[in-house]
């Protein structure tokens, strides 16, 4: 098979045959395990861009958890307080900064992250491989793999877990195209990257925006770039705590967003009052 064309497991639905190809050279990724579907690739390509841009903007290892072409969560690698570690079911692990990022990203909305596409800004390390191994996930995309880590995750889903290695130096063309009812829609690729100076026009009476709040605001703006509209994102302490996506009403987006945030906070509160609960620690799907 050519390195510029890949036959997929299926398209948007199982009855649709599909492939992906590049007319500009080889595909910017390699399939190291499994056979991806069209939705798998859409999740992977967008999740990778999100994780990479968080890394570039905030200069910390970053991760994204994607489901059905929108992020369920995203985060950068910051230490987890004990209650959050319990809520994310990682209080028994020694986490690397990259693993901290994925634990936080998946902890945004663990229900929506079930069977996710995990995207990492940095090469997969041992701690993150072990975390992904025991979570229910369908796809992983990363720019590399440290020694021994690929073997750990290849066993997931009976050996069918989809693992993609992306070329971190790949830059897509400045113009992008999409078929639309037999026509071709062409537009400039969205290369906007939010910067701290974009946050200077504060319209509220309180004009104090601490460094941590600036970090979280930039994180939210980058997340929204890869979230289906209408969309609203809530962020706190280097991670999303709610992502409302794909609603016709912004009010419904906000309600969904805040509901996810309350569920996350409620789970943390439960962990503070109860030191044990059923945990799915050994799932290798």
- Residue by residue, pLDDT tens for the chain (285 residues) are 468 999 999 999 999 999 999 988 999 999 999 999 999 999 999 999 999 999 999 999 999 999 999 999 999 999 999 999 999 999 999 999 999 999 999 999 999 999 999 999 999 999 999 999 999 999 999 999 999 999 999 999 999 999 999 999 999 999 999 999 999 999 999 999 999 999 998 888 998 999 999 999 999 999 999 998 888 888 999 999 988 776 776 776 677 666 665 555 544 443 333 333 334 444 444
Give the pLDDT score at 214. 95
The rounded distance, in Å, linking the Cα atoms of 274 and 281 is 18
Q: Which domains does the chain have, with CATH numbers?
A: 5-181+193-273 (3.40.140.20)
Give the pLDDT score at 166. 98
The rounded distance, in Å, linking the Cα atoms of 78 and 180 is 42
The rounded distance, in Å, linking the Cα atoms of 254 and 79 is 28
Encoding tokens for residue 237?
Answer: 């302490």
The rounded distance, in Å, linking the Cα atoms of 36 and 119 is 15
Give the pLDDT score at 85. 96
Half-sphere exposure of 45 toward its Cβ, with a 13 Å CA cutoff?
Answer: 14
Residue 44 near residue 164, CB atoms below 8 Å: yes
Residue 98 near residue 134, CB atoms below 8 Å: no
């Amino acid at each position: 098979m050519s390195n510029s064309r890949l036959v997929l497991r299926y398209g948007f639905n199982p009855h649709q045959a599909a492939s992906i190809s590049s007319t500009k050279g080889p595909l910017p990724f390699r399939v190291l395990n499994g056979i991806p579907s069209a939705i798998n690739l859409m999740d992977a390509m967008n999740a990778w861009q999100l994780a990479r841009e968080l890394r570039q903007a905030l200069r910390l290892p970053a991760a994204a958890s994607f489901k059905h072409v929108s992020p369920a969560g995203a985060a950068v690698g910051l230490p987890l307080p004990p209650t959050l570690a319990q809520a994310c079911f990682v209080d028994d692990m020694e986490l690397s900064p990259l693993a901290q990022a994925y634990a936080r990203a998946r902890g945004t909305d663990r229900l929506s992250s079930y069977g996710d596409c995990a995207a990492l800004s940095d090469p997969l390390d041992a701690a993150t491989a072990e975390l992904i191994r025991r979570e229910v996930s369908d796809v992983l995309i990363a720019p590399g793999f440290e020694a021994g880590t690929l073997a750990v995750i290849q066993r997931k889903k009976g050996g069918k877990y989809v693992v993609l290695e992306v070329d971190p130096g790949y830059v897509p063309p400045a113009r992008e195209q999409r078929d639309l009812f037999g026509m071709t829609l062409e537009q400039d690729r969205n290369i906007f990257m939010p910067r701290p100076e974009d946050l200077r026009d504060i319209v509220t009476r309180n004009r104090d925006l601490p460094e941590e709040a600036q970090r979280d605001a930039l994180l939210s703006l980058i997340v929204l770039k890869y979230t289906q509209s209408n969309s609203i994102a809530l962020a706190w302490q280097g991670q999303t705590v709610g992502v409302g996506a794909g609603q016709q009403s912004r009010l419904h987006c906000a309600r969904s967003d805040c509901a996810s945030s309350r569920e996350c906070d409620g789970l943390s509160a439960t962990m503070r009052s109860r030191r044990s609960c059923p945990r799915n620690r050994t799932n290798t799907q």
